[in-house]
Amino acid sequence: MTNERRVLVHPDKTALGAAVASRFVTKLVDLLAAQPLAHVVLTGGSMGSAVLEHVANNPASTSVDWTRVHFWWGDERWLPRGDAERNETQARAALLDSLEIASGNIHSLPASDEGIELDAAASVYAKELADHATDGALYPRFDITFLGVGPDGHVASLFPERGGVREKDLTVISVRNSPKPPPERLSLTLPVINSSERVWLVLAGADKASALGLTLAGASVNEVPAAGVEGRRSTLFFVDADATAEVPESLTATELFWTGSDSPDAY
């Protein structure tokens, strides 16, 4: 299966969020027409929430049978359940609480006030992944994994020059001394992220331009974790114009970049 790697450029953050939401809804409808369930990995951050808000307000979202969609997270801050900084809390407010789906379809990571330690929490989520896998796999077949990209090139809670980005054996890791607060987190590992059929990275703003340029130029994964992301079927970078400011001209070839108005919908 050929992996498609494309960058889709939109004029601003609002257009970006709306376009990703529209594509997400359309893709879910297509997926659920061909298979019984869809597994989606969500991300946090301002653009992650913005996309979900646009999904909630998209009239076409009523065409999705949300009862057949399972939601997971790529990472989570080690904070109490319901804390406003948790990715889960933000996703619930933006979209999930408005959907009529079973609680068992929402696979949130453990919280710091639930009586377990951080390492044990990683094991709990790893078990939940395995419990929803098939054919002896360690995790479900993810159809779409959303990722944000930090200015330093981190994805999920896999940070540059940290051991987590090099982890090959574990599916979920505990993160301590994160360079971005809060210091303690949980994160999927890169092999799990890259097992997804489609990885959609959504980033906006001039502060992300360096990370995008280095990622597309093939920087070291240890130095720029986003450079190591590769979905099985496709890897799409959804960006606004500001985020392309430091992308070398040699990387803006038409076979790699599309604008929001002419990008194909097959991926």
Supply the pLDDT for residue 105: 98
Percent share of the chain, pLDDT over 70: 91
| Residue-by-residue DSSP string for the chain | -PPEEEEEEESSHHHHHHHHHHHHHHHHHHHHHHSS-EEEEE--HHHHHHHHHHHHH-GGGGGS-GGGEEEEESEEES--TT-TTSHHHHHHHHTGGGS---GGGB-PPP-TTSS--HHHHHHHHHHHHHHT-STT-SS---SEEEE---TT--BTTB-TTSGGGG--S-SEEEE-S-SSSSS-EEEE-HHHHTTSSEEEEEE-SGGGHHHHHHHHTT--TTT-GGGG---SSEEEEEEEGGGGTTS-GGG--TTTEEETTT--S--
3 state SS for 46-78: HHHHHHHHHHHHCHHHHHCCHHHEEEEECEEEC
Q: Which of 93-97, 181-185, 199-203, 252-256 is predicted with the least confidence, judged by mean pLDDT?
A: 252-256
Supply the pLDDT for residue 263: 53
Range of the domain at 34: 4-259
Asked if the structure places residue 265 within a domain, the reply is no
List, for residues 255-267, the tens digit of each pLDDT value. Answer: 555 555 555 555 5
Supply the pLDDT for residue 76: 98
Whether the predicted pLDDT of 19 surpasses 70: yes
Whether the predicted pLDDT of 156 surpasses 70: yes
What is the CATH classification number for the domain harbouring 37?
A: 3.40.50.1360
**Average confidence (pLDDT) over 22-44:** 97
Give the span between the Cα atoms of 195 and 54, in whole angstroms.
26
Asked if the structure places residue 226 within a domain, the reply is yes
- Mean pLDDT, rounded, of the chain: 93
List, for residues 90-148, the tens digit of each pLDDT value. Answer: 999 999 999 999 999 999 999 999 999 999 999 999 999 999 999 889 999 999 999 99
Which residue type is seen at 197?
A: E
Question: Which has the higher per-residue pLDDT, 260 or 191?
Answer: 191
Supply the pLDDT for residue 5: 83
Percent share of the chain, pLDDT over 90: 88
Supply the pLDDT for residue 4: 77
Supply the pLDDT for residue 1: 41
Asked if the structure places residue 267 within a domain, the reply is no
Whether the predicted pLDDT of 14 surpasses 60: yes
Supply the pLDDT for residue 32: 98
Asked if the structure places residue 77 within a domain, the reply is yes
Question: Which has the higher per-residue pLDDT, 175 or 250?
Answer: 175
Supply the pLDDT for residue 35: 97
pTM confidence score: 0.93
Supply the pLDDT for residue 245: 82
Asked if the structure places residue 266 within a domain, the reply is no
Supply the pLDDT for residue 247: 77
Asked if the structure places residue 21 within a domain, the reply is yes
- pLDDT band per the 50, 70, 90 thresholds, residue 44: very high
Supply the pLDDT for residue 249: 66
Supply the pLDDT for residue 220: 97
Number of domains, the chain:
1
Supply the pLDDT for residue 246: 76
Asked if the structure places residue 123 within a domain, the reply is yes
Asked if the structure places residue 25 within a domain, the reply is yes
